Every structure is written in structure tokens, then in C-alpha cells.
Chains A and B, each alone.
Chain A
Amino acid sequence: MTTRRAAYEARQRRRATLLAGGSTAVVLVLLIVLVPLAPGWDGVKSSFFNAEIFARTFPDLANAFLINIAIFAWSVPLIAALGLAIALARGARAPVLFPLRIFGAIYVDLFRGIPVVLLVYLVGFGIPGLGLPRPWNSPYIWGTVALVLTYSAYVAEVLRSGIESIHESQRNAAVCLGLSERDTMRYVVLPQAIRRVVPANMNMLVALQKDVALLSFIGPVEILRQAGIFKSLLANFTPYVAAAVIFLCVTVPATRYADYLMNRDRNART
């Protein structure tokens, strides 16, 4: 049986679908018809969307992307550990731990305030410049360090906001049971805080995945640098488009997943 309300809403939905479909079709037709009319279209098409070059360079680019994934993969645990340590240092209340607290604050100000690419240059060229023996002069190591420094500062702030969002009554309940400050943090506050900031940290991971490409400036032949090599070799920009496609294959699902987590979290709290 259909209620009046349900019938009305069904009509509204049909109307909305028709309108959305119609406007999308119009935009697509305009794009397909108008863009090729631009005077430089033939040049852009052959230098950015060359199917043959796309097919030829794609496998090597995908292969170079494995380096991005490797750098990403070993950065993440380091960022998580350091970010947590900095967040806890910033929350330390005991007077003896005041230096830790100050250190945490300076750390966050410093590494959140410097553009990632600048830090990659400074750390990636500066520290190997000290004349360290192999393998300690590797740009892989110091580039990764630069990413870890920046992202752990961001993650520390996200975690700290999570810790501060846990209601005082939770701490009170724990303290009244006789739990120590440390146990209260470890068993009561942190598990809730970390869960609460998972969506925000998912967005961090997506950003990190993209920023790994910045290491191309200091040496490692990851996907962006590989695309640059192909560009010089073939005098064609299509490899960059291929690289962008490869990035999207990873970042779009990851972003959608982060959105899903964020929505679920919002719904759970209302």
C-alpha cells in the first residue's frame, strides 16, 4: 500500500532524477563538442592524450609507483608512533615533564609551519651533505624522514584534538575506580580518542600518498620522476597524465573510504 507521502516522495525522486540526467547530458555534449573546437586542441590531444605513448609508458610508471607505495608503507608506522608520542608529550601535566611539553609544542609549530617540499629539500639534501657513509646518505632515508617529520606534526595535532574531545566524565569515572593517570590514558581515553580521529587520519594518509611524489625532487626514481624521464625522452606529456591516473586509482577509493568513515561517525554521534 502506498501512502500519500510515499507517492509524493516517489514523484519528487523521479523529477529529480530526470533533471539531474538532463543537465549532465547537456554538460557532456557541450564538453565533447566545444573543447575540440579550441584552436590548440589537436596539439594538446597529441601531447597529453596520446594513446600509444600511454600504453607504452603505463607499465613502467606503475612499476615506479611501487616505490611510492614502499615509501608510503614505511612512513606510516613511523608517523603513527611519532605523532602519538608528540601528542602525549603535549598533554603531559607533571611539572617534571615540562621540557617534553615545550618540545612537543615547538616540534608541532616548526614542522607544521614549513612547507613539505621545503623540508624535503632541506633534509634530503642537507643531511646527506654532512658526508655520511653509505647507506646513510640515501635520499630514500632522508626524504622519508622529511615526510615523517611533517606528517607526525599534523597527526599529533589530530590525536590531541581527539584526546581533548573525550568527556571529562570518562576520566572522572576511571580516576574514581582508582586507576592511575597512565592507565586512564592508556585504557580509557586513548582507545576512544584514536577511534574518533580515524576519519581525519584517513585524509592524512591520502595527502601523504600524494606528497611522496615530492621525493622525486631529491633523487628516488618514483612515479613522478619516472614520468619526467619519459617526458624528456619522448617529448610528450602523456606520461604525466598516466601518472595522474595511477594516483587516482589509489586516492579516490581511499578518499571515499575516509568519507564513509566520517559519515558513519557523524551518524553514530547524533
Chain B
Amino acid sequence: MPEPRLALRGVKKSFGDVEVLHGIDLAVNPGEMVCLIGASGSGKSTLLRCMNGLEPVDDGEVRLDGVDIAEPGFDLAPIRQKIGIVFQSFNLFPHMTAYNNVALAPRRVLAEDARTRIEALFERFGLGAHMSKYPDQLSGGQQQRVAVIRALAMRPQTMLFDEITSALDPELVGEVLDVLRSLRDDGMTMVLATHEMGFARELADRICFMDKGVIAEEGAPDVIFSNPQKERTKQFLASVLR
């Protein structure tokens, strides 16, 4: 059994008086792709944001390559290079070209002029012609692909995706999912919060169904989608797969 890339134990998180994560246990192995599914408000996004320290957890452990990054006071800056995140709303920097959006962090954090590498990433994801455009000159799907490239340019070993197709027009979802497919083929360790059930079923190694701040059921995609054990899972799937 290899050491998990990411191991969560008893993770709890409250916003004010509302506890949104009630003690999450989850291990993600290197090269594994885990999909978090569940209704809005079930805690998927919060869980992802706890995995890279964007939200400090209240209790429990988040081990990245064996190091507990949830230790209060832990310096997260070096960790952020190992774990990339892409958000639902892209969050590109609107005053910079697509290329500069991507090049900023490698230049400032890695002190590296990664031009060749970055250009190769743009080419790979079909954006070679758009590097000098500003975000508002790009479609939603293109912006989201730039956001993925921006995270990849830091050479992370793990990628988190927070409902990255949810803000897109339906016809643009495919081009972004293709990017994920391609990363999957590279063997990237990935955790996704997603509403794309077909995609999750096709590509995920494991599905975690979240409900009211706990992982209510987890297992292989075929098991979860064809033969869910828990009543709540059945209800959720029945409502989204209609």
C-alpha cells in the first residue's frame, strides 16, 4: 500500500455556528481521480478548499505527502506549489493577458522564466493563438482552460477542481472536460467536485457522495451509480439522473 498523496482524518469546519464538515475521512492515492458529488451545500467546495489550506480547518488532519498542513500556524506557501486548484468562476486576473496570468506565479515564486513550458501548455490545450488575449476577450471555456494552465504551470502533483464546468454554457463544457481527460491520462492526482455525473462515472476511480457535511457513501463509480447502498445516495442520484 503506497502512502496516500492526500489523507484527511476527522476534518471539521464551521462557518460561525454552522458546522459544514462533520469529520471527514478521505485518502487519495497518487494518480487517483476522486470525484465528490452531492447537492449544493453538502460541503464539496469547502472540503476542497480545506485540502489546500485556503480554508483553515477547525479540527482534524490534512496530510499532503505525509505532512500535516492543517497544523495551526503551518506555513502554507511552499505547499501551494504542490497542489493546484481551479475555481468555478475562473478567477483569472482581468488586467493581464492569458499568458501573463500563467507566467506570473512561475516568475515570482519559482523565479523561473517558463516561456517554453507555458507555450507548450497553451498549445497542448488548444489555446496557442490566444496567449496575448485578455480574459474578457475569451469564451468561458477558454478562460477556464487558461485557469487550468495557470495552475499546471506551477508543476503541481495534485490538482483540485471546484465545479469548474458549472459556470459554463452547456456547449462549452466538453472542451474543459477534455482537458481533465488529458490530465487523467498523464496520471495526475485529482480531486473534483462536480455535477457532471456522466463524466464522473466514465473517468473517476472513486466516487464520494457527500451529504450534509459527511461522506455518506463512497466506492467505485459502477457501484455508486448502478447499485447505491444508502437511501440518501439513491435519492440524490434519482434527482440528478432523471
Taking CB atoms, residues of chain A closer than 8 Å to B80 are 175-178
B85 partner residues in chain A, CB cutoff 8 A: 176
**Is B94 touching A179 in the complex (CB atoms < 8 A)?**
no
Assess whether B95 is in contact with A179, with CB atoms less than 8 Å apart. Answer: no
B90 to chain A, nearest CB (A): 9
In this assembly, does B182 line the interface, its C-beta being within 8 Å of a C-beta of chain A?
Answer: no
Report B99-124 CB contacts with A as 1/0, cut-off 8 Å: 00000110011000000000000000
Q: Could you tell me if B54 and A183 are in contact, using CB atoms closer than 8 angstroms?
A: no
B166 contacts chain A at the CB level, 8 A cutoff: no
Q: Which residues from chain B contact A172 at a C-beta distance below 8 Å? A: 54, 87, 91
Q: Which of A82-97 contact B (CB under 8 A)?
A: none
B178 shortest CB reach to chain A, Å = 23
Total number of A residues with any Cβ neighbor in B under 8 Å: 17
Q: Is A195 an interface residue (CB 8 A)?
A: yes
**B105 touching A191 by the CB < 8 A rule?**
no
Contact, CB under 8 Å: B52 / A177? no
Contacting A at CB under 8 A, from B149-169, are 150-151, 154
* CB <8 Å contact, B105 and A178: yes
- A170, A183, A187: the one contacting B91 at CB < 8 Å is A170
A195 CA / B134 CA spacing, docked (Å): 15
Q: Which residues of B contact A183 (CB under 8 A)?
A: 108-109
- Fill in one digit per residue for B57-95: 1 if any A CB lies within 8 Å of its CB, else 0: 000000000000000000001101100110101011111
**Residues of B contacting A81 with CB < 8 Å?**
none
A interface residues, Cβ below 8 angstroms from B: 169-170, 172-180, 183, 187-188, 191-192, 195
Question: Would you mind naming 30 contact pairs between A and B with Cβ atoms under 8 Å apart?
Answer: A169-B87, A169-B91, A170-B91, A170-B93, A172-B91, A173-B87, A173-B91, A174-B93, A176-B52, A176-B54, A176-B84, A176-B85, A177-B80, A177-B104, A177-B105, A177-B150, A177-B154, A178-B78, A178-B81, A178-B109, A178-B154, A179-B109, A183-B108, A183-B109, A187-B93, A187-B104, A188-B104, A191-B95, A192-B93, A192-B94
